[in-house]
Amino acid sequence: MTVRLGRGENANEPYVRVSNSSAWRAILLAWGLSLVCLPTELVAGTLTSPGSVDGADEPFGLSTAMVTTGALLEKWLDVERAVDDERLVLKICKANRASCQSQAALQFLSIVDSARTLAGRARLGEINRAINLKIKPKSDLVLYGADDVWSPPLATLAIGAGDCEDYAIAKFVALQEAGVSADDLRIVILRDEVRKEYHAVVAARLDGNWLVLDNRHMVMVEDQQVRHYHPVFLINRDGVKLYSDVPEGSHGFERGVGQIQR
């Protein structure tokens, strides 16, 4: 799979304009490489300018810049609309589970109910564990015969399989339904320097620290303990952001725990 840079009105002018050289390194890293869990036109978009937003309160502590147009933003907005539709189904099923016609909704509500009985790290860990066990890792090509399909939680649970961003989306929504504030949740798209591929995880803030929820293993670790990962994009309730201050010469973040094979 390849990545194509979008074009502005001037055919020679790319959409992505970043003055920060570190941000360009992140973009060039993504451009033209094989992608596992990222949209084909990942970097086709524009950023807010000038400069970037202080990332002290974001996962990995790096600055970010808002993405204002492009395929990744459009894809995320489509997912948000699908999630809103599924929340209506969840509301109906929660009100009367006996008459609920969606087994996926009942499964999702059961996961949320179990998490709600817990607090703090235990609540986050329950969502991470339950979603990891409920979904089998399979590529979009195997499931749909196409690349780059992002699914909302009930659609993923109905199939029972998905790839990394499907796990992340399901956890992102389930955590909110379990009572975790959306202000404390992020989906982070990273470059895995060991596997030479891209990956999506959820980051959840607890007591001022960011914990990483990964479909590859059950153990949650703090963002600063995760290595061999380059954060590239961040998604939150406000939209999509590009990490624009990846340290020069950084080789990522070395993992402190073992990985579960896909």
Render pLDDT for 200-240 as a digit per residue (tens, 0 to 9).
999 999 999 999 999 998 999 999 998 888 999 999 999 99
- Could you tell me which residues come within 8 angstroms of residue 237 by beta carbon, excluding any fewer than 6 positions away? 182, 183, 185
Identify whether the C-beta of residue 74 lies closer than 8 Å to the C-beta of residue 103: no
Beta carbons within 10 angstroms of residue 103's beta carbon = 12
In degrees, rounded to 5, the angle at the alpha carbon of residue 63 between the alpha carbons of residues 62 and 66 is 135
Please compute the mean of the pLDDT values over residues 139-165 and round it to a whole number. Answer: 94
pTM: 0.78
CATH class of 21-243: alpha beta
Query: Do the bridges between strand 197-206 and strand 209-213 make them parallel or antiparallel, or are there none, so unpaired?
Result: antiparallel
State the pLDDT at residue 165.
96
CB 218 within 8 A of CB 253: no
Instruction: Give the residue-averaged pLDDT of 36-61.
Output: 57
Q: Which of 47, 31, 55 is nearest to 245 (CA)?
A: 55
Least confident of 32-36, 172-176, 213-217: 32-36
CA pair distance 37, 167, nearest whole angstrom: 11
- Residue 191 tokens, joined: 């470059």
Per-residue model confidence (pLDDT) at position 226: 87
Which is more confident, 147 or 255?
147
pLDDT of residue 6: 34
Res. 36 pLDDT band, cuts 50 70 90 = low
pLDDT score of 175: 98
**How would residue 27 be classed by pLDDT, with cut points 50, 70 and 90?**
very low
For residues 257 and 230, is the Cβ–Cβ distance under 8 A? no
Confidence of residue 140 (pLDDT cuts 50, 70, 90): very high
Instruction: Indicate the average pLDDT of the chain.
Output: 80
Position 35, amino acid: L
Higher pLDDT, 113 or 3: 113
Angle at which helix 103-116 crosses helix 120-134, to 10 degrees, equals 160
